[in-house]
A and B are shown apart, each in its own frame.
Chain A
């Protein structure tokens, strides 16, 4: 597995075009892998990506089974001569994960629930309130191999996870409007099951993985 970071030059027209639509950005990310028709490989790894906006920058993170070539993105929407992209081998890091390790994490996800329909299968709807979205995330930590350790706030212990931003994305795909309610989570996690966490890191969490949701990233705990 490979972990890649690419920075957009937000002043360029190509960047504006890509950043405006997760549909176009998804196509641009998959174009980094030659001959890759299905984003899911045999061992279950797949291409995941996420867009972060720290302090007016636009950072694209990609986790992928194969090494990406982002030349087209750099030429269209980056800094071609000074600042290209940074790809690292993710496998050693995934192998180092051990129970009781703590990391800072960040995740942009599409929290959803199903409402039963009179016929056929249920209709998938997005969670939109902070409480629903945080509850959706906290209900999934166990199966993905980690827990959120509590932190004391005013004497009460609360999980050290918070919603950093919430957005409802609307964009056009094949002439129809796609609506996605996304939430960005951040905080501290403690590893309980390294294998399950590896699976979550490489296969993603929740729906809408093609549209920049589901990629969990770790950073040193502060």
Chain B
């Protein structure tokens, strides 16, 4: 099995899986439908085109830099001001970085990698107003999804890495349950398995996600004796 690695970084991202009506929420991690839609847009597929081959890819994500949630009170209205649109709350993830991994056939992933480098439609992270910063794709590797999540270096921004004082960092992951495996107690259901993006009858199926953690080395860790407790009294001996 091969994997295609994506680094999702942007000032704002938004990954809704359960938004209804005027409250447009975001999850703390990218959704599978969002990533499949991103790949489909890069490949130039229209919303009514089939996405069956994309939906068979196994998907996992690592929360390299969780970011924080921002709320936008949205008061947009038509330019002539005639029919007021409903006021809405839109939620965004600010300053977050994720590693998204899709697992599948190498040939297919290579074409997707090329498509991401020359996308047909504009790419965005969950919402049209959230363009990615920096290159999206980290390339195709010959490994499994779990190995990719545990072996790819920490992708957080340099400032976050420098602020992290420990030698290792522990990151949350959310991975598709392998086919045929029974639900575990660390798994949960998300309705973001895309069936079709066609605007008239958009459909999402339920997907079983396994929550996990991986521990990675911190590339900016500097070993020093200075961080521990400093006790000048220890030199004087017992009183």
Contacts and interface: CB of A to CB of B under 8 A. Distances in A.
Contacts of B224: 151, 160-162, 186-187
A188 B228 CA distance: 12
Interface in B180-239: 222-236, 239
A86 interface: yes
Contacts of B226: 104, 106, 160-162, 164, 185-188
Interface residues of B, number: 16
Nearest to B231: A219
Nearest to B229: A54
B217 to A, nearest CB: 10
A3 B236 contact: yes
B225 A104 contact: yes
A153 interface: yes
A188 B232 contact: no
A218 B223 CA distance: 19
Contacts of B229: 54
A217 B236 CA distance: 12
Interface in A207-222: 217-222
A92 B211 CA distance: 59
B235 to A, nearest CB: 6
A158 interface: yes
B232 A221 contact: no
B225 A221 contact: yes
A205 B13 CA distance: 49
A3 B239 CA distance: 13
Given A88-B239, A153-B222, A158-B222, A164 B227 contact: yes
A126 to B, nearest CB: 22
Given A158-B222, A162-B222, A86 B227 contact: no
B225 A222 contact: yes
A160 B223 CA distance: 8
A40 B236 CA distance: 25
Contact of A153 (B223, B225, B228, B234): B223
Contacts of A164: 226-227
Q: How large is the interface on A (under 10, 10 to 19, 20 to 34, 35 or more residues)?
A: 20 to 34
A62 B228 CA distance: 21
A52 B230 CA distance: 9
B236 to A, nearest CB: 4
B225 A187 contact: yes
A66 B172 CA distance: 56
Interface in A104-147: 104, 106
A222 B234 contact: no
Nearest to A185: B226
A1 to B, nearest CB: 12
B231 to A, nearest CB: 5
Contacts of B222: 153, 158, 162
Nearest to A54: B229
B239 A104 contact: no
A116 to B, nearest CB: 34
A138 to B, nearest CB: 14
Contacts of A187: 224-226
Interface in A86-101: 86, 88, 93
A69 B7 CA distance: 61
B236 A88 contact: yes
Contacts of A49: none
Contacts of A158: 222
Given A151-B223, A153-B222, A158-B222, A93 B235 contact: yes
Given A3-B236, A88-B236, A220-B235, A188 B230 contact: no
Given A86-B239, A220-B235, A106 B230 contact: yes
18 contacts: A3-B236, A54-B229, A86-B233, A86-B239, A88-B233, A93-B235, A104-B226, A106-B230, A151-B223, A153-B223, A160-B226, A186-B230, A187-B224, A188-B225, A217-B232, A218-B235, A219-B232, A219-B235
Given A162-B222, A162-B227, A218-B232, 17 more contacts: A3-B236, A52-B230, A54-B229, A61-B232, A104-B225, A106-B226, A151-B223, A153-B222, A160-B226, A161-B226, A186-B227, A187-B225, A217-B230, A219-B232, A220-B234, A220-B235, A222-B228
